[in-house]
Amino acid sequence: MAFCTQAVILILSVLIVSWCKPSYGAGIAIYWGQNGNEGTLAATCNSGNYQFVNVAFLSAFGNGQTPVLNLAGHCNPSANTCTGLSADIKACQGKGIKVLLSIGGASGAYSLSSADDARQVASYIWNNFLGGQSSSRPLGDAILDGVDFDIEAGSGQFWDDLARALNGFRQQKKVYLAAAPQCPFPDAHLDTAIKTGLFDYVWVQFYNNPPCQYSGNANNLLSAWSQWTTVQANQVFLGLPAAPEAANSGGFIPADVLTSQVLPSVKNSPKYGGVMLWNKQFDNGYSAAIKGSV
């Protein structure tokens, strides 16, 4: 009888934990590619700190431009030296890490002129970075998991068309879509795209935005966070600078403050997916300090 009682208690305990625990695991997303001194992509994934890596940036595309991949000092796409990253990408994916191509950035030369232009850009990305085929794949034969929209310039037009066009390839292979809006809600560039409901991950930039970032207290941040968790996306991430130097206009949260004062509130949302960090160059221990609490 005692054995049966213990067994029932154990089963009930497991059920309670499973009911209370979200059906997904939270993780850390990191941007990699904008500083040649930040270490290799392989080392980034080998750290064990990240579940997502955004390879940044495809900084020029659209409006008839020849697309340009800019990975700072890591390699030179025009000299075909970035194809060596293919092995690193596959190694990351072998660890269960999703590797996405980040398009845009704060200083890129990109724009979309029409819905047809968006479809052409989607086809280029599919054939050169995702599951399609091209004789000029900048990162070699590795197939990235998806695309991150870090759109910080130009208008908000046609990004929804780009999202739909990329999602259109899903019958051949799932294309994960991520967006990195600024924390003022709604985002000036990505609002229409996010409203398509096609984005798996929305990692909101709660930095370089004084009205909605941490500034000695988290009141403004939490107010904005409550708005962002209403968007049509599978998961919403808290985007933060990995060091004070990573965000000239502020938003850095000390690791102990983040884990004790901010994350407990943020994690109350069922859409909470984790933390996004900008960027690998500045992450000298921050992700390691917070990953146990994410």
Residue closest to 237 by CA, chosen among 97, 92, 52: 52
Q: What is the pLDDT of residue 25?
A: 73
Provide the b/e sequence for 129-160 (b: ≥16 CB within 10 Å): bbebeeeebbbbebbbbbbbbbbbebeebbbb
44 closest CA partner among 70, 55, 77, 201: 55
Q: Which two tokens stand for residue 163?
A: 């999202």
In angstroms, the CA 203 to CA 132 distance is 27
Counting beta carbons within 10 angstroms of the beta carbon of residue 6, is it exposed (0 to 12), middle (13 to 18) or buried (19 or more)?
exposed
Cis bond leading into 279, ω under 30°? yes
DSSP one-letter code for 182: B
pLDDT in tens, the chain (294 residues): 444 444 434 444 433 333 433 334 799 999 999 999 999 999 999 999 999 999 999 999 999 999 999 999 999 999 999 999 999 999 999 999 999 999 999 998 999 999 999 999 999 999 999 999 999 999 999 999 999 999 999 999 999 999 999 999 999 999 999 999 999 999 999 999 999 999 999 999 999 999 999 999 999 999 999 999 999 999 999 999 999 999 999 999 999 999 999 999 999 999 999 999 999 999 999 999 999 999
**Is 152 designated active site?**
yes
So what's the pLDDT on residue 158?
98
The answer for residues whose C-beta is within 8 angstroms of residue 199's C-beta and 6 or more apart is 163, 177, 178, 179, 193, 232, 233, 234
Query: How many other C-beta atoms are found inside a 10 Å radius of the C-beta of residue 44?
Result: 21
Amino acid 35: pLDDT: 96
The whole-angstrom separation of Cα 158 and Cα 61 is 13
Reading the block at residue 84, the tokens are 């060596």
What is the per-residue pLDDT for 7? Answer: 41
User: Taking a C-beta distance cutoff of 8 angstroms, is the pair 235, 273 a contact?
Assistant: yes
Asked if residues 186 and 222 have their Cβ atoms less than 8 Å apart, the reply is: no
Report the distance separating Cα 57 and Cα 150, nearest Å. 9
Rounded-to-integer distance, Cα 184 and Cα 207, Å: 10
Catalytic position from the list 38, 145, 148, 152: 152
With 0.85 as the threshold, say if the pTM is over it. Answer: yes
Q: How many Cα atoms are found within 13 Å in the side-chain-facing hemisphere of 98?
A: 19
